[in-house]
Amino acid sequence: MYSVFRCLTKSLWLVITLSVFSGISLAETSASRTVVDLAGREVTIPVNAERIIIGESRYIPALAIVEEDPISKIVGMLADLKLTAPGTYRQFQDRFPEIENIPLIGHTSADSFSVEQVLTLRAEVAIFGLEGHGPTARHAHVVTQLEQAGVAVVFLDFRKNPLANTPKSIALLGKIFGQEQRAEAFNQFYREQLQRVTDGLAQRNSSLAPPSVFIHSRVGIMDMCCETMVRGMMADFSDHVSANNIAKPIVPGAAGVMNLEYLLTFQPQVYIATAVGSSDTWAAGHTSHADNIPPYIVLGSDVSEDVARASFNNALSASNTRGVKQLEAVKQGQAYAIWHHFYNTPLNVVAVQVFAKWLYPDTFQALDPKATLDELYRRFQPFPVKGTYWVSLNKHPPKPMALVTTMPDNTGNQQ
């Protein structure tokens, strides 16, 4: 069993000592440069680092933006990509079979992260997120242990403040991998695609009230209804398109749980669910009795639109989410689902465009997020896009309803 935050053992101190005195601390012996990471820290990194660990393997698509072979320099990673987005993992596995040989330095959480193992891998740079499933900026003792052993630790962010920090994070990766031109090419594309949404909103009649939305996060994960995102992550996407997130007045922090009675009182005009299921979970549900189908919405690589829609209907019929069907937005076809992993990836600009089309279908008739996703993969990923990453509950959604949402105040009272 991995144990992250256990006290330093004699073996760990031995590794650190050997690292420091044997010259493994390459930052002291090789050409280096100083960068500022997303935590605002000045970090000295080796030029063209060759041995890198990543706090979440879901960062591999981000690495692929700046590095033609994103696998070759990874010497350790967590197992989260394979477990949470197996379709994406298989795409990388097909293109880079050696991904299977990368040592796992943890499972899917920070408390499974092994400092001792990282040091035996002679890593030069550790790439973590400000927030997320691996070690984060809150785990100062992990950072200290690694830095004492000569491992440069840098923080990225695609989750806490995703739209502002994605270009900064990609620029930082460009410096780490010595691929600053590739990073800037992506950032230019990213800014252009985000600007298309900003420009569209500017042309909209400002006297019209923005639509209200409820983001139902990780449908099927919890026994109760309904987890939601309020700040950062996908909540940033709804903020960027000026939607009224009905959870924001009453849920503090980044995420929380709202009960169904509240949602039925303060009805959202649009319901957006996030999909944590995959083709694997869908197939597993069909190997036994139908009642055992996991109540997850299925999206991502290897998923057809028909399967995605069937899983959406199945998820909203499960016992823990059945009440969602009472929402007027769901009854009237303003119900949509999106790939959950957009919340922590530089591909997030596509999700912003999808939100814009769902919330303002007349304003963004000409916007084509699928074309954006296709081009993003063609130019910045090592394989073409395949699968389905968003879906409507109804195959042909009707025009948005003229439902007027009465927003609550900070106490949940009607205004």
Give the pLDDT confidence score for residue 38 in this predicted structure.
Answer: 96
Q: How many CB atoms lie within 10 A of CB 56?
A: 28
pLDDT digits (tens, 9 = 90+) for 137-180: 677 888 898 999 999 999 999 999 999 999 999 999 999 999 99
DSSP state of 181: H
Neighbouring C-alpha atoms within 13 Å toward the C-beta of 242: 13
- pLDDT-derived band at 408 (thresholds 50, 70, 90) equals low
pLDDT digits (tens, 9 = 90+) for 271-304: 999 999 988 888 877 665 555 666 899 999 999 9
- pLDDT-derived band at 110 (thresholds 50, 70, 90) equals low
34-38, 205-209, 332-336, 390-394 — which is least confidently predicted?
205-209
| Count of residues in the chain | 415
Cα 304 from chain centre = 21
C-alpha closest to that of 136 among 103, 162, 160, 107: 160
Got the DSSP string for 73-137?
TEEEEESHHHHH-HHHHHHHHHH-GGGGGSPEEESSSGGG--HHHHHHTT-SEEEEESSSSS--T
Give the mean model confidence (pLDDT) for residues 333-357.
97
- d(Cα 297, Cα 385) in Å, to the nearest integer? 20
- Helix (H) or strand (E) run with residue 332 in it: none
Give the pLDDT confidence score for residue 15 in this predicted structure.
Answer: 45
Give the pLDDT confidence score for residue 205 in this predicted structure.
Answer: 81
- d(Cα 164, Cα 399) in Å, to the nearest integer? 32
Give the mean model confidence (pLDDT) for residues 211-224.
90
Summary mean pLDDT of the chain: 86
Better-scored residue on pLDDT, 325 or 291: 325
C-alpha closest to that of 174 among 183, 163, 165: 183
Residue 56, pLDDT > 60, answer: yes
